[in-house]
Structure 1
Amino acid sequence: MSSALGAPGRFLERAGEQALFYLSIIRYAPHALSNYRKEMIRLIAEIGMGTGALAVIGGTVVIVSFMTLSAGALLAIQGFSSLGNIGVEALTGFFSAFINVRIAAPVVAGIALSATIGAGATAQLGAMRISEEIDALEVMAIHSVSYLVSTRLVAGVVSVVPIYSMAVLMSFLASRVTTTFFYGQSLGVYDHYFATFLRPTDLFWSFLQAIIMATAVMLIHCHYGFNASGGPAGVGDAVGKAVRSSLIAVVSITLFASLAIYGVSGNFNLAG
């Protein structure tokens, strides 16, 4: 049927297969929670702090924190310079509270999650697939989707909360230090505008957006890893496809979430 319809038919067929696989992952999440708790705890520790050489630098937490640290510093540099051109550099604190929470931190954290825990999950599952470890689990009557994939989905969603907390804090810290230490702005002026325009509801939506992004990243990467084929080269190809797909998903989620939550007005009042 798909061959008769050509490329559009094959695309729809692949999209349907992926959607069914995603539904099966979510469906077996309660089963994984009740039956594979030790494996889930191990995966949460592995995702957060890494394994092997990655554990020496602190794993995903440190990587995401440093990426958002650089993003926050760049935001402060550009914000102070641009606002200074019109004589309102005092509003750099507003710039940090507004852009970091709504755009910079979610996008940078999503990219980092894709490149770290997502790519790692694809490589692990792909290696297990080509070495026939997944087939061996099924022979032993262990549900492979529940044990290998649903556990990783739940672990990724649980781990993203402390990881994203560090990401947001580091972006705030970088913007504050850059503005007040390097550019010499008064701490009182920066803190006043930062506290005035930092809305708790924005933080809530930002964390919800990060959880949705983590879910999408884990679903996409686990799908490509679980269905990898073609030996080691096939695993590398699966990782590349998964990273490209998850990056598109991260940016798309940010776009549609921003439109849905903030609309066209921005949902803030420039006062204070």
Structure 2
Amino acid sequence: MSVGTVAQQRFPRTSQGLHNVWSSWQQLGEQTRFYSKTIMSFAEVFARYKTELLRQIAAMSLGTGALAVIGGTVAVTAFLTTSTGAIVAAQGYNQLSQVGVEALVGFASAYLNTRLITPTTAAIALAATIGAGATAQLGAMRINEEIDALEVMGIRSIAYLASTRVIAGVVVVLPLYSVALIMAYGAARFGTTAVYGQSSGVYHHYFRTFLIPGDVVRSFTVAIAAAVMIMMIHTYYGYTAAGGPAGVGEAVGRATRTSLVATGLLILLVSLAIYGQTGLFNFSG
């Protein structure tokens, strides 16, 4: 009887804990290797798989099947950001009016929507639509052995399936995030001026005063970084799915949870890196 077997018999909980830690580290290493291969295959996508890249861009932006009827990811993102913009108007006006500074709702929209709310909402929409769809597609291909068939045909599956989706996600997120910002700003303005009756001139004065163009550019940077992370996580879980249809559903759930947590941490760290020291903000006038 080996020493390891004796240890497992005497300390079953400790051995199980060490096994779980080792499995977690091993999975992290596998993910890192997959992400590295995905990034290194970007050049190969433009050289060999341009048609697949264009197809993925069209599918992600407009949607396929039933999702295309309502406009795909664009409609989902617009609806979510419109809701958050309306919440900024409602909560901002009610809370600020209690201390007599309801005129600053325009400032709240320019500051909160740009730096925090819209990037987070857009990331949630990406994970729930594009990301989950990518995981389900790749998972179905894996359990049907279609990925193995691609490898037999001489097609590099990671470049063809994962890298194309990551690049397509970055391309799609640029106009998608533009729509998200416009809808968030518009909903906050409409709610404040049309519903609560604040003067449009007052709202526009504070909104334009505190809307920093550099913040908009940095907000796009955060959205692009979030899109890359979301697509890489979802493609990994779909590419490595196992266990039949139930395994695909489990992979979608795990990918969504992981991407949302990772994206939240990413937005937090990037926001601290950009705004943490000085905030790039002066409140005056």
1:226 aligns to 2:243 (yes or no): no
Counterpart code for 1:191: H
Alpha-carbon distance, 1:102 to partner = 0.5
Aligned residue number for residue 202 of structure 1: 215
- Runs of 4+ in structure 1 over 3 Å off: 1-5
- Figure out how many residues of one structure are paired with residues of the other and give that number: 272
Give the structure-2-normalised TM-score: 0.93
- Paired residue for 2:179, among 166, 172, 179? 166
Aligned residue number for residue 187 of structure 1: 200
- Paired residue for 2:148, among 111, 135, 140? 135
- Paired residue for 1:238, among 227, 230, 251? 251
Whole-angstrom CA distance in 2 between matches of 1:175 and 1:5? 51
Deviations 1:41-71 (A, max 9, x none): 1110100000111111100011001100000
Whole-angstrom CA distance in 2 between matches of 1:4 and 1:99? 43
Is the Cα–Cα contact under 8 Å of residues 3 and 9 in structure 1 kept in the other structure? Answer: no
Q: Which moved more, 1:28-37 or 1:225-234?
A: 28-37
Kindly report the root-mean-square deviation, in angstroms, between the aligned alpha carbons of the 2 structures: 1.4
Alpha-carbon distance, 1:254 to partner = 1.2
Deviations 1:94-138 (A, max 9, x none): 000000000100000001100000000000000000001101111
Deviations 1:6-63 (A, max 9, x none): 2222111110110010000000011011111111111101000001111111000110
Alignment of 1:1-272 (within 5 A): 5-263=18-276, 265-272=278-285
Does the residue aligned with 2:225 lie in a helix, a strand or coil? helix
Alpha-carbon distance, 1:251 to partner = 0.8
Give the structure-1-normalised TM-score: 0.97
Does the residue aligned with 2:64 lie in a helix, a strand or coil? coil
Identity %: 54
Gaps of 5+ in 2: 5-14
Whole-angstrom CA distance in 1 between matches of 2:106 and 2:266? 26
Gaps of 5+ in 1: none
Whole-angstrom CA distance in 2 between matches of 1:268 and 1:240? 39
Alpha-carbon distance, 1:271 to partner = 1.6
Whole-angstrom CA distance in 2 between matches of 1:74 and 1:89? 15
Does the residue aligned with 1:6 lie in a helix, a strand or coil? helix
Is the Cα–Cα contact under 8 Å of residues 68 and 167 in structure 1 kept in the other structure? Answer: yes
Does the residue aligned with 1:78 lie in a helix, a strand or coil? helix
Whole-angstrom CA distance in 1 between matches of 2:214 and 2:162? 32
Is the Cα–Cα contact under 8 Å of residues 125 and 225 in structure 1 kept in the other structure? Answer: yes
Whole-angstrom CA distance in 2 between matches of 1:52 and 1:30? 30
Whole-angstrom CA distance in 1 between matches of 2:200 and 2:155? 58
Whole-angstrom CA distance in 2 between matches of 1:98 and 1:265? 15
Alpha-carbon distance, 1:267 to partner = 2.3
Is the Cα–Cα contact under 8 Å of residues 153 and 215 in structure 1 kept in the other structure? Answer: yes
Larger radius of gyration: 2
Is the Cα–Cα contact under 8 Å of residues 122 and 239 in structure 1 kept in the other structure? Answer: yes
